[in-house]
């Protein structure tokens, strides 16, 4: 029987089952046994970590077409390093560790797809680190909003999934008040719309590509606005 990658990632079968998650429902929790990997078919999810002191931080946003819980393939008895939860309603394929490894060994189309995913995830992680090390909090916020918007060929504003300013603050390493300040400036300049849901305009990319900030850092300080590198 000819192997179909599409069918493998879409349909239930041996070692695979389709799961549906409601918003805020967990795929798995930090510290739980990593015995399955998920392929996100639709929806948006996030990875968050909890410190020993009880502080929670969002470390990544996940979109359809990504795998979740890749640590399950590393070794038997591995533990999840983060909690994966749905931001909006999600549909995913839950694949048992043994089945995923078996098919990857037998079918190059799956192993090639997974390798591309790992490389893309690695490159994004490096970009996130550079962003945290060298960019201002305003520029980091603009980047996160653009990544979440997932623009198509259309020039129309793109909607974001439901997300709080607290979560955005966690992701860019700043405070909620700073996020609120920058969001208000972006809105006043027509870079985003904010009417219960965030809509992002492509013009926001100018903040990242051309350092066209809403105000010069020196002016921000003179005006008493929060600013940080």
What fold characterizes domain 5-131?
Jelly Rolls (2.60.120)
Q: Please, what is the end-to-end C-alpha distance for the chain in angstroms?
A: 57
The strand pair at 198-200 and 192-194 is best described as antiparallel
Exposed e or buried b per residue across 62-91, where buried means at least 16 C-beta atoms within 10 angstroms of its C-beta: beeebbbbbebbeeeebebebbbbbbeebb
- Give the best-scoring range by mean pLDDT among 52-61, 73-82, 83-92, 155-164: 83-92
Q: Residue 131 CA to chain centroid, in angstroms?
A: 15
CATH architecture of 135-222: Orthogonal Bundle (1.10)
pLDDT score at 135: 84
The 10s digit of each residue's pLDDT in 98-125 is 999 999 999 999 999 999 999 999 998 8
- The answer to whether the CB of 113 falls within 8 A of the CB of 67 is no
In this structure, what DSSP letter does residue 13 have? B
Model pTM above 0.85: no
- Judged against a pLDDT cut of 80, whether residue 229 lies above it is answered with no
Query: What is the spatial distance between Cα 35 and Cα 207, in angstroms, rounded to a whole number?
Result: 42
pLDDT score at 219: 40
More confident residue, 56 or 214: 56
Which pair of tokens denotes residue 169?
């603050």
For the chain, residues classed under CATH 2.60.120.10 are 5-131
Q: Which helix (H) or strand (E) holds 12?
A: none
pLDDT score at 225: 44
In which band, very low, low, confident or very high, does the pLDDT at 75 lie, cut at 50, 70 and 90?
confident
Mean pLDDT of 166-189: 91
pLDDT score at 104: 96
The 10s digit of each residue's pLDDT in 192-222 is 998 778 999 989 988 877 665 544 433 433 3
Strand partners, 120: none
pLDDT score at 8: 95
pLDDT score at 31: 95
Residue 40 class from Cβ within 10 Å (0-12 exposed, 13-18 middle, 19+ buried)? buried
CA nearest 182: which of 130, 225, 224, 131?
225
> What's the number of CA atoms in the CB half-sphere (13 Å) around residue 133?
6
Which pair of tokens denotes residue 75?
């070794």
The 10s digit of each residue's pLDDT in 21-54 is 999 999 999 999 999 999 999 999 999 998 888 8
pLDDT score at 149: 87
pLDDT score at 152: 67
The 10s digit of each residue's pLDDT in 116-164 is 999 999 998 888 888 888 888 999 999 889 888 887 667 788 888 888 8
């Amino acid at each position: 029987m000819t192997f179909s990658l599409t069918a493998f990632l879409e349909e239930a079968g041996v070692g695979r089952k389709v799961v549906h998650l409601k918003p805020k429902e967990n795929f798995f929790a930090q510290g739980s046994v990593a015995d399955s990997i998920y392929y996100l078919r639709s929806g948006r999810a996030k990875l968050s970590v909890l410190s020993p002191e009880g502080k929670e931080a969002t470390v990544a946003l996940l979109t359809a077409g990504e795998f979740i819980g890749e640590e399950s393939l590393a070794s038997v008895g591995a533990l999840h390093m983060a909690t994966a939860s749905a931001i909006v309603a999600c549909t995913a394929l839950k694949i048992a560790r043994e089945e995923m490894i078996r098919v990857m060994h037998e079918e190059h189309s799956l192993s090639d797809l997974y390798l591309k995913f790992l490389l893309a995830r690695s490159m994004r992680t490096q970009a996130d680190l550079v962003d945290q090390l060298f960019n201002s909090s305003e520029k980091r916020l603009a980047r996160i909003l653009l990544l979440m918007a997932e623009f198509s060929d259309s020039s129309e504003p793109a909607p974001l999934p439901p997300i709080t300013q607290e979560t955005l603050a966690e992701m860019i390493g700043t405070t909620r008040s700073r996020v609120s300040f920058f969001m208000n400036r972006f809105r006043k300049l027509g870079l985003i719309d904010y009417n219960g849901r965030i809509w992002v305009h492509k013009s926001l990319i100018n903040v990242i590509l051309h350092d066209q900030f809403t105000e010069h850092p020196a002016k921000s300080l003179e005006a008493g606005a929060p600013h940080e590198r």
